[in-house]
Chains A and B, each alone.
Chain A
Amino acid sequence: MSTGDGDRTIVQASIELAHKFGKRVVAEGVEDTTTLRLLEEMGCDQAQGYLISRPLPAEHLAGWLENWVPPAMLAA
């Protein structure tokens, strides 16, 4: 997505379409901060992917949450 203009247009349009239907949008498979920033700019609501965390067993989740540092964003 961060490389192609066409892809970007598709993502942007999908986000807008969902918002017009009053839905929140989760972007899956986010793997790098460039993509995360782009999604933020486009007004995407939530993100999920290896950049944040891979799927974890329930017992690891609490520990992960305590040590977790949010990725750098546009608004510092």
Chain B
Amino acid sequence: MRRWANPPVLPPRLWSHRHQILRLVLWANIPPAGVLVLLHRQDQESLFLVSLVAGLALLATFSRGTRSLRATLVSVSLMACAGLAAFASTGPQRFAYFVVMTASIALYRSWAVLAVACLVGIGEEFVLGSPEVASVGALFMLIVGSGALIAWSMDVRQYQLEEGPDETQAANRLREAIQHGELILHYQPKFDLRTRRIVGVEALVRWSPPGQELVFPDAFIGVAERAGIMKPLTFAVLDLALRQYRAWDDRPSKK
């Protein structure tokens, strides 16, 4: 299922999460866009709409149940209010509308959102402008939105484990990883408190996708459990651990 209102959070390793940072930056554009609307149209209805958008944006950010119907409703009403806010402030403030819309597309990452953005854009121009302006606006929206979505789909290919809206895709990728031997083990030493010697190691699984950073089990065990591939994963890990045990055991004894 799609994650509709996934809050943009800044994680510790910056470069590997640059797409999330981009989302954060886009998200941060919503309040300035609201201010722009207010500056150009100083009336009560704009104030009301902008605060509504800001409130819903906050709600969407802090609603942790990302898979719930509530979150979906929140994001949809957020979109609707963004459209209304832009509607209430036609003129040079169209810029604000575009910022809000592109930010929403990037955040919610769905073609449905792009379609809604285009429709609201066209509708707005038809009511308050001319059909020519409407088509130009829609075209612009389509180009910007498509760009955002293409960037997103490339992003997903690389980061599907953390971000993937499509769990099946992640599960298939994990299945391949098991078959292609992309799983590796790290070993954490165990220290005996009486003999004060290292008496063993604990084997911990890691996923090492070619040319990418190491993925830790908390990011893929859940996927494996839900996809029913814990058994092949367990056997792959067991196989690795036993091979390594054998390799250590076969070494000329040097203690």
Contacts and interface: CB of A to CB of B under 8 A. Distances in A.
Interface stretch (B117-125, B128-136, B180-188, B223-231): B180-188
18 contacts: A40-B193, A45-B192, A45-B193, A46-B192, A46-B193, A46-B199, A47-B191, A47-B193, A48-B190, A52-B190, A53-B189, A55-B187, A55-B188, A56-B188, A56-B189, A58-B185, A68-B198, A70-B197
Interface string A37-76: 0011000111110001111111001001100101101000
A1 interface: no
Interface string B169-208: 0000000000000001111111111101111111010000
Contacts of A70: 191, 196-197
A65 B198 contact: yes
Interface of B: 184-194, 196-202, 204, 244, 247
Given A46-B199, A65-B198, A68-B198, A57 B193 contact: no
Chain A interface size, as a band, is 20 to 34
Contacts of A57: 184, 186-187
Contacts, number: 58
B188 A58 contact: no
Interface in A2-39: 26, 36, 39
A45 B192 CA distance: 6
A52 B187 contact: no
Contacts of B198: 52, 65, 68
A58 B196 contact: no
